[in-house]
Amino acid sequence: MVSVVIPTYNERENLQTLLPQLLYRFAASQTRAEVIVVDDTSPDGTAEIVQYYRRRFPHRLRLLSQPGKMGLGNAYRVGMKNALEHGADYVVQMDADGSHDHKDLARLLSPLAKQQADLVIGSRYVSGGDVQNWSLRRRLMSRSGAAYARTILQSRIHDITSGFRAWDRELLGKTLFTTTRSDGYAFQIEMARRAELAGGRIVELPITFTERRDGVSKLSREIVREAVVTPWKI
Protein backbone atom coordinates (compact mmCIF):
# COMPACT_ATOMS: atom_id res chain seq x y z
CA MET A 1 0.00 0.00 0.00
CA VAL A 2 1.20 3.50 -0.92
CA SER A 3 -0.03 6.47 1.10
CA VAL A 4 0.47 9.97 -0.30
CA VAL A 5 0.36 12.54 2.52
CA ILE A 6 -0.53 16.10 1.50
CA PRO A 7 -0.64 18.91 4.10
CA THR A 8 -2.93 21.80 3.19
CA TYR A 9 -3.81 25.32 4.20
CA ASN A 10 -5.96 27.28 1.74
CA GLU A 11 -5.30 24.93 -1.19
CA ARG A 12 -8.85 24.63 -2.55
CA GLU A 13 -7.97 25.68 -6.10
CA ASN A 14 -4.87 23.51 -6.32
CA LEU A 15 -6.59 20.41 -4.93
CA GLN A 16 -9.27 20.66 -7.61
CA THR A 17 -6.46 19.87 -10.04
CA LEU A 18 -4.22 17.55 -8.02
CA LEU A 19 -6.76 15.21 -6.40
CA PRO A 20 -8.40 13.99 -9.63
CA GLN A 21 -4.95 13.58 -11.20
CA LEU A 22 -3.85 11.27 -8.40
CA LEU A 23 -7.11 9.45 -7.74
CA TYR A 24 -8.03 8.67 -11.33
CA ARG A 25 -4.44 7.60 -11.99
CA PHE A 26 -4.50 5.19 -9.04
CA ALA A 27 -7.90 3.82 -10.03
CA ALA A 28 -6.96 3.33 -13.68
CA SER A 29 -3.77 1.46 -12.82
CA GLN A 30 -5.45 -0.46 -9.98
CA THR A 31 -2.58 0.62 -7.75
CA ARG A 32 -2.98 -0.06 -4.03
CA ALA A 33 -2.68 3.58 -3.13
CA GLU A 34 -4.47 6.26 -1.16
CA VAL A 35 -4.25 10.00 -0.52
CA ILE A 36 -4.30 11.46 2.99
CA VAL A 37 -5.01 15.19 3.16
CA VAL A 38 -4.13 16.86 6.47
CA ASP A 39 -5.87 20.22 6.56
CA ASP A 40 -5.09 23.01 9.03
CA THR A 41 -8.71 24.24 9.17
CA SER A 42 -8.46 26.17 5.90
CA PRO A 43 -11.05 28.97 5.66
CA ASP A 44 -11.18 28.77 1.84
CA GLY A 45 -13.17 25.53 1.61
CA THR A 46 -10.26 23.13 1.11
CA ALA A 47 -12.00 20.48 3.24
CA GLU A 48 -15.15 20.68 1.11
CA ILE A 49 -13.16 19.85 -2.02
CA VAL A 50 -11.61 16.85 -0.28
CA GLN A 51 -15.03 15.63 0.85
CA TYR A 52 -16.36 16.01 -2.69
CA TYR A 53 -13.73 13.63 -4.04
CA ARG A 54 -13.97 11.38 -1.00
CA ARG A 55 -17.56 10.58 -1.92
CA ARG A 56 -16.29 9.35 -5.30
CA PHE A 57 -13.20 7.56 -3.99
CA PRO A 58 -14.15 6.52 -0.43
CA HIS A 59 -11.40 3.90 -0.18
CA ARG A 60 -8.65 6.03 -1.70
CA LEU A 61 -8.98 9.37 0.08
CA ARG A 62 -8.99 10.41 3.73
CA LEU A 63 -9.29 13.84 5.31
CA LEU A 64 -7.63 14.56 8.66
CA SER A 65 -8.77 17.92 10.01
CA GLN A 66 -6.50 19.77 12.41
CA PRO A 67 -7.94 21.96 15.21
CA GLY A 68 -6.11 25.02 13.85
CA LYS A 69 -3.06 26.15 11.93
CA MET A 70 -0.58 23.70 13.43
CA GLY A 71 2.24 23.92 10.89
CA LEU A 72 3.75 21.72 8.18
CA GLY A 73 5.76 19.47 10.48
CA ASN A 74 2.79 18.75 12.71
CA ALA A 75 0.61 17.98 9.68
CA TYR A 76 3.17 15.52 8.33
CA ARG A 77 3.54 13.79 11.70
CA VAL A 78 -0.24 13.35 11.94
CA GLY A 79 -0.58 12.16 8.33
CA MET A 80 2.41 9.81 8.39
CA LYS A 81 1.35 8.25 11.69
CA ASN A 82 -2.13 7.69 10.25
CA ALA A 83 -0.64 6.11 7.12
CA LEU A 84 1.49 3.68 9.13
CA GLU A 85 -1.44 2.79 11.38
CA HIS A 86 -3.47 1.90 8.27
CA GLY A 87 -0.76 -0.44 6.97
CA ALA A 88 1.11 1.67 4.43
CA ASP A 89 4.24 0.01 3.05
CA TYR A 90 5.46 3.26 1.50
CA VAL A 91 4.62 6.84 2.45
CA VAL A 92 5.03 9.76 0.05
CA GLN A 93 5.36 13.43 1.01
CA MET A 94 3.98 15.78 -1.62
CA ASP A 95 2.98 19.44 -1.89
CA ALA A 96 -0.60 20.36 -2.73
CA ASP A 97 0.23 23.26 -5.02
CA GLY A 98 1.31 21.43 -8.17
CA SER A 99 5.02 22.11 -7.68
CA HIS A 100 5.63 18.35 -7.60
CA ASP A 101 4.70 16.36 -10.71
CA HIS A 102 2.44 13.43 -9.86
CA LYS A 103 3.91 11.58 -12.86
CA ASP A 104 7.19 11.28 -10.91
CA LEU A 105 5.58 9.13 -8.21
CA ALA A 106 6.33 5.80 -9.88
CA ARG A 107 9.96 6.78 -10.39
CA LEU A 108 10.38 7.72 -6.73
CA LEU A 109 8.71 4.54 -5.53
CA SER A 110 10.67 2.18 -7.78
CA PRO A 111 13.90 2.02 -5.69
CA LEU A 112 11.82 1.27 -2.59
CA ALA A 113 9.92 -1.55 -4.28
CA LYS A 114 13.23 -2.99 -5.54
CA GLN A 115 14.67 -2.72 -2.00
CA GLN A 116 17.44 -0.46 -3.29
CA ALA A 117 16.61 2.41 -0.92
CA ASP A 118 14.77 3.25 2.27
CA LEU A 119 14.19 6.91 1.40
CA VAL A 120 13.99 8.44 -2.08
CA ILE A 121 14.22 12.23 -2.36
CA GLY A 122 13.04 14.14 -5.41
CA SER A 123 15.98 16.50 -5.81
CA ARG A 124 16.27 19.86 -7.52
CA TYR A 125 20.01 19.94 -6.99
CA VAL A 126 21.40 16.76 -8.49
CA SER A 127 22.28 16.36 -12.16
CA GLY A 128 19.08 16.61 -14.21
CA GLY A 129 17.14 18.45 -11.50
CA ASP A 130 15.63 21.87 -12.19
CA VAL A 131 13.44 24.66 -10.83
CA GLN A 132 10.95 26.55 -13.00
CA ASN A 133 9.32 29.96 -12.51
CA TRP A 134 11.57 31.08 -9.65
CA SER A 135 13.32 34.42 -9.55
CA LEU A 136 17.11 34.49 -9.31
CA ARG A 137 16.79 35.68 -5.70
CA ARG A 138 14.55 32.74 -4.77
CA ARG A 139 16.91 30.29 -6.48
CA LEU A 140 19.88 31.68 -4.59
CA MET A 141 18.00 31.59 -1.28
CA SER A 142 16.98 27.96 -1.76
CA ARG A 143 20.40 26.75 -2.86
CA SER A 144 22.12 28.70 -0.10
CA GLY A 145 19.73 27.30 2.50
CA ALA A 146 20.32 23.72 1.36
CA ALA A 147 24.10 24.25 1.29
CA TYR A 148 24.01 25.84 4.75
CA ALA A 149 22.09 22.92 6.26
CA ARG A 150 24.35 20.36 4.55
CA THR A 151 27.45 22.07 5.90
CA ILE A 152 26.23 22.41 9.49
CA LEU A 153 24.92 18.84 9.57
CA GLN A 154 27.76 17.35 7.50
CA SER A 155 25.07 15.73 5.39
CA ARG A 156 25.54 14.08 2.01
CA ILE A 157 22.03 14.97 0.85
CA HIS A 158 22.08 17.63 -1.88
CA ASP A 159 18.45 18.76 -1.56
CA ILE A 160 17.88 18.38 2.16
CA THR A 161 14.93 20.80 2.08
CA SER A 162 13.02 18.95 -0.65
CA GLY A 163 9.39 18.24 0.17
CA PHE A 164 8.92 15.45 -2.40
CA ARG A 165 9.95 12.17 -0.80
CA ALA A 166 9.05 8.48 -0.66
CA TRP A 167 9.72 6.50 2.51
CA ASP A 168 9.85 2.82 3.37
CA ARG A 169 7.66 2.26 6.43
CA GLU A 170 10.46 0.80 8.57
CA LEU A 171 12.81 3.78 8.22
CA LEU A 172 9.92 6.22 8.52
CA GLY A 173 8.83 4.62 11.78
CA LYS A 174 12.34 4.84 13.21
CA THR A 175 12.71 8.46 12.14
CA LEU A 176 9.23 9.82 12.81
CA PHE A 177 8.69 8.45 16.29
CA THR A 178 12.06 9.38 17.78
CA THR A 179 12.78 13.04 18.49
CA THR A 180 11.48 15.20 15.63
CA ARG A 181 10.59 18.62 17.01
CA SER A 182 10.10 21.02 14.11
CA ASP A 183 6.58 22.10 13.25
CA GLY A 184 7.45 24.27 10.24
CA TYR A 185 9.34 23.72 7.01
CA ALA A 186 12.50 22.80 8.94
CA PHE A 187 10.75 19.47 9.54
CA GLN A 188 12.10 18.44 6.12
CA ILE A 189 15.69 19.10 7.21
CA GLU A 190 15.24 17.32 10.51
CA MET A 191 13.62 14.21 9.03
CA ALA A 192 16.24 13.86 6.30
CA ARG A 193 19.12 14.15 8.75
CA ARG A 194 17.59 11.73 11.22
CA ALA A 195 17.11 9.25 8.38
CA GLU A 196 20.84 9.53 7.67
CA LEU A 197 21.72 9.06 11.34
CA ALA A 198 19.46 5.98 11.47
CA GLY A 199 21.54 4.39 8.70
CA GLY A 200 18.87 4.64 6.02
CA ARG A 201 19.81 4.05 2.39
CA ILE A 202 19.00 7.38 0.77
CA VAL A 203 18.72 7.96 -2.98
CA GLU A 204 18.21 11.32 -4.69
CA LEU A 205 16.50 11.37 -8.08
CA PRO A 206 16.26 14.50 -10.26
CA ILE A 207 12.93 16.29 -10.47
CA THR A 208 11.69 19.52 -12.01
CA PHE A 209 10.13 21.71 -9.35
CA THR A 210 7.53 24.14 -10.74
CA GLU A 211 6.44 27.19 -8.73
CA ARG A 212 2.94 26.91 -7.25
CA ARG A 213 0.00 27.27 -9.63
CA ASP A 214 -2.57 29.10 -7.49
CA GLY A 215 -2.67 30.74 -4.09
CA VAL A 216 0.02 32.49 -2.07
CA SER A 217 3.45 31.13 -1.15
CA LYS A 218 3.74 30.10 2.53
CA LEU A 219 7.37 31.26 2.77
CA SER A 220 7.81 33.77 5.62
CA ARG A 221 10.53 35.27 7.81
CA GLU A 222 9.62 32.86 10.60
CA ILE A 223 10.07 29.89 8.26
CA VAL A 224 13.48 31.20 7.17
CA ARG A 225 14.50 31.77 10.81
CA GLU A 226 13.48 28.24 11.80
CA ALA A 227 15.43 26.77 8.87
CA VAL A 228 18.54 28.67 10.00
CA VAL A 229 18.27 27.63 13.66
CA THR A 230 17.10 24.00 13.32
CA PRO A 231 20.34 22.44 11.95
CA TRP A 232 22.15 23.51 15.12
CA LYS A 233 19.61 21.60 17.24
CA ILE A 234 19.79 18.24 15.47
Query: pTM score, two decimals?
Result: 0.89
User: Using CA atoms in the order 9, 70, 219, 186, what is the torsion angle rounded to 10 degrees?
Assistant: -130
Taking residue 200's Cβ as centre, other Cβ atoms within 10 Å add up to 20
User: From start to end of the chain, where are the E strands?
Assistant: 2-8, 33-39, 61-65, 90-93, 119-123, 130-132, 165-168, 202-206, 208-210
> First and final CA of the chain: distance in angstroms?
31
User: Which of 93, 96, 161 is closest to 131 using CA atoms?
Assistant: 161
User: Which of 187, 181, 125 is closest to 157 using CA atoms?
Assistant: 125
Cross-strand pairs, 206: 123
Integer angstrom CA distances of residue 1 from 36, 72, 102, 134, 148: 13, 24, 17, 35, 36
60 CB-near residues (< 8 Å, 6+ apart):
23, 26, 27, 33, 34, 35
Rounded Cα distance between 23 and 11, Å, is 17
Taking residue 148's Cβ as centre, other Cβ atoms within 10 Å add up to 16
Rounded Cα distance between 63 and 200, Å, is 30
pLDDT at residue 230, as a whole number: 54
Rounded Cα distance between 141 and 148, Å, is 10
Domain boundaries, the chain: 2-232
Question: Distance of alpha carbon 179 from its chain centroid, rounded?
Answer: 19
Burial-class residue 29 by CB neighbours within 10 Å (0-12, 13-18, 19+).
Answer: exposed
User: Per-residue pLDDT for the chain (234 aa), expressed as one digit of tens each?
Assistant: 999 999 999 999 999 999 999 999 999 998 899 999 999 999 999 999 999 999 999 999 999 999 999 999 999 999 999 999 999 999 999 999 999 999 999 999 999 999 999 999 999 999 999 998 778 787 777 777 778 887 888 899 999 999 999 999 999 999 887 666 777 778 999 999 999 999 999 999 999 999 865 555 555 455 455 545 555 455
Asked if 39 and 64 touch (Cβ cutoff 8 Å), the reply is: yes
Q: Which superfamily does CATH assign the domain made up of 2-232 to?
A: Spore Coat Polysaccharide Biosynthesis Protein SpsA; Chain A (3.90.550.10)
